[in-house]
Structures are given as C-alpha cells and as structure tokens.
Amino acid sequence: MAGLYWEDFHVGQVFEHPWGRTITESDNILFSCLTLNVQPLHIDAEFAAKTEWGKPLVNSLFTLGLMIGMTVNDTTLGTTIANLGMSDVRFPKPLFHGDTIRVRSSVKAARESKSRPTAGIVEFEHVARNQHQQVVAVCVRQALMHKRPAKAA
C-alpha cells in the first residue's frame, strides 16, 4: 500500500506532492454538468465574458476534489477508513481553464480514535497554488486512518 498508517503521521509533517495538474475546459464543464451545477459562470463562455472575470471560472467543488485527490497517493491510499469532515474551505483566488495547480499538505493534528482501537484521526491542511504560486484553495480535512496491523505472534 502506498498510503501511510496513523502511526506514520506527526504534527508538523509536510508533503510537497510532486505532480501538477492542468485544468481543462472539458474538466470544468463535465464536472459542472455531472453535478447539475448549471451556473453559467462555469459553463457559458458568452455569459462569463460579460462578468468581472471575462471568462469562465473553474467550479470550486472541482478544485476542492482535485486538490484532495492529488494528496491521496502520498498520504492515505489504501490506509484511510473514511473522511470525517472538511472545514475552513476557501478559494482566495479564482482558477481558469489552462491553470495548473500543485498541492502541499501538512499534518495539523493526530490522535487515537476514542471509539476504534485500531484507528486514529489525522487532520490535514491542504493548500493548492496555481502556476503563479498564488493560493487558490485551502481545506482542513479530518481522516479516520487505519493503525498499522498488529504483527502475528
């Protein structure tokens, strides 16, 4: 498994995820339509051209999902039980078609689960930046993580 177990995380740990992802017009339109978000600011170039942005904005929920997805391989692939919540979600700068994001994650807290002796909770902060190093998305995520399996006696 590529993911880390609860014991592998410590407060202050930082992950500079090595890949970037360029967002395409197709990504934005497909996600918006699949989620029935018919906001013309995302899917209607003519409408968006008349706004303060002058062009379509990338759907913020696509940005959130992509940002978290880009972190999975380094952190939770196969070792997470569930996401418990996301908070402090914000989008300080807009994203546009053709922008490329990169993500940095840090561990803000880690504690054992009170109800599951084989699990712990890790709180991550994920920060996405565009190709100009501007912060475009931030999220605090709590994940219920497996502890390392006990060794057979």
**Residue ranges making up the domain that contains 49:** 6-146
Report the candidate in 7, 52, 136, 18 with the shortest Cα–Cα distance to residue 41: 52
Q: What is the pLDDT of residue 152?
A: 59
Query: The domain spanning residue 92 has which CATH number?
Result: 3.10.129.10
The model's pTM:
0.92
* Local confidence band at 11 (pLDDT 50, 70, 90 cut-offs): very high
| Total domains in the fold of the chain | 1
Are the CB atoms for 145 and 122 separated by under 8 Å? Answer: yes
For residue 79, tell me if it sits in a domain. yes
* Radius of gyration for the chain, computed over Cα atoms and rounded to the nearest angstrom: 18
What confidence tens digit (pLDDT) does each residue in 18-64 have?
A: 999 999 999 999 999 999 999 999 999 999 999 999 999 999 999 99
